[in-house]
Amino acid sequence: MRRFVLALFVAIVAASPVLAARIAIRIDQGVLNGETEDDVQVFRGIPFAAPPTGDLRWRAPQPARGWTKPRDATAFGPICSQNEHITMFMPKLPQSEDCLTLNVWSPNTTSAAKLPVMVWIYGGGFLNGGSAAPIYDGTDLAKHGVVIVSFNYRLGELGFFAHPAVLGENKDEATGNFGLLDQIAALKWVQKNIAAFGGDPSNVTIFGESAGGMSVNDLMASTMARGLFAKAISESGLGLNAVPTLAEAQKSSTEFATQMGVNGSDATALAKLRALKVEDILKNQGTLATEGHVAPFIDGKLIPSDVSMLFAKGDIAKGPYIAGSNSNEASLAPALGSDLEKGLSVFGDQLPKVRAIYEANGPLTDAEFARQVFGDGLFTSAAQALAGFAAKAGEPARVYHFAYVADHYKGKMVGVGHGGEIAFVFGFRGLGFIGNFASDKDRSVAAQTQAYWTNFAKTGDPNGPGLPEWPAFSTASQNTLVIDDTTKAVADFRKGQVGVMTARWGQRVGMAAP
């Protein structure tokens, strides 16, 4: 009987979920109680700045308060206030204006470990997103011997607001680009605290996608972020687009305030703005498809001038740089409200010449031509141009193009959509049941991609044993690593098409194309 009871107990334990082991770490603010999951130590919901509420709404992030009793760090903090944009990768999550928290995954929290650190910046058009999204689970990347950090930053009108009443309140602070200031505050927290998690503060890589990739480029160009990271990866981060001016941002913010019933630019107007309900702000702010969309702008301090021009002049952070794009970035077009074929009108009477370049290897349908132009214009050309500028400034630079379509979707998709590489960077752990569709080939490509990314974080060179060679990118040797069913470096990838787009950039800024 005793043997039966013991056997039953063992069977029940074996069938039950494994309880995560708790682990405590002390940082400057106090003791954190995290947990160990699949041999990775995880700490969630750590405040890196004071809640940006009340009088701190539309202020640069202020220092986070400490705590005297051990703080539970097993649950994500709420994501920043936003209009819900529910997808299979971004489920409904708790949100709040009090959202400035971060998360850490570490395979070894011994302070002497000095592991490379990778800090993730999520996308979402500066309107949506959050570090609690399951697809950003850092466990699999951490298993490659790196510390992963993700954080929240303010979005929409709460994150990017250039109203004169706000700008005039604290002139010693870089104001307006509050979402980017949050990112810098998170990086400062990493510098101060990451050693307690086994990380090396002198070896930090920032990486992000879409708005996160744009943020990477902004931080590369900002003197305020210098010394806070050593390497950078911009995934689908654009780069040749015009950055809104301070005057344009002020106009947009003032119009928004007027729409909300707030006029003037004095302390009374500022008090009224801070008294607005979050739900009313969200209800009235712009979207990706409207002119009222908010985004980083040239404030003269954090972003001193057009980001592409700063890259072109070599006025960027020193260190290895990677930029890349996906094979169907046009999947983003509906969110932007873009009619791809109508958009071709920007070429005017030059359209036949442009089309001839695109059809050098055979005719294209109107839809396919427009789709390719969109992807090259916003993403493929920008990745090559910014990497070329970084290389010209003497920094190691590389370019990738992600074209591998997962086996389950082959024949159902024209290419890898905007953001489609993220699951291969982080692995399929956070995809839930969708991850069950991953084939052995999918998992092999994910392992390869993770190896490139983490090798780069470790040494500044993504190459390693068993990986196809990824050569550096330069104006003399324009190599792009095309990640596909067979991954290989391609010289002068889409040279003619990219040349069309960089020429348009050169015309805009008044200088020779890269």
Q: How is residue 104 annotated by DSSP?
A: E
d(CA 15, CA 27): 36
Residue 307 φ/ψ, nearest 5 degrees: -65, -40
Q: CA 52 to CA 57: how far, in whole Å?
A: 5
Rg (CA), the chain: 23
Q: Which tokens in the block code for residue 513?
A: 């194309």
Distance separating alpha carbons of residues 220 and 237, to the nearest angstrom? 12
Q: Which residues pair with 483 in a beta bridge?
A: 402
- CA 353 – CA 485 distance, rounded (Å): 32
Whether the CB-CB separation of 324 and 400 falls below 8 Å is answered with yes
Q: E strands, 137-179, where?
A: 147-151
The encoded tokens of residue 375 equal: 């992807």
Catalytic residue among 81, 131, 210, 381: 210
Name the strand (E) or helix (H) holding 310.
helix 307-312
Query: Which pair of structure tokens corresponds to residue 395?
Result: 């920094």
Q: Say which of 329, 381, 395, 401 is annotated catalytic.
A: 329
Amino acid, single-letter form, for residue 64: A
Q: C-alpha 504: how far from its chain's center?
A: 26
Q: How far apart are CA 460 and CA 232, in angstroms?
A: 9
* 341 in active site: no
CA distance 208 to 236: 9
Type of residue numbered 275: A
Q: What is the 3-state secondary structure (H, E, C) of 245-309?
A: CHHHHHHHHHHHHHHCCCCCCCHHHHHHHHHCCHHHHHHHCCCCCCCCCCCCCCCCCCCCCCHHH
Instruction: Please confirm, yes or no, whether 329 is among the known catalytic residues.
Output: yes
The H-assigned helical ranges of 44-177 are 139-142, 156-159, 164-167
Q: Cα–Cα distances in Å, from 61 out to 216, 270, 461?
A: 19, 17, 34
Q: Is 162 exposed, middle or buried (0-12, 13-18, 19+ CB in 10 A)?
A: buried
From the number of C-beta atoms within 10 Å of its C-beta (0-12, 13-18, 19+), residue 248 rates as middle
Q: Which positions are annotated as active-site residues?
A: 210, 329, 418
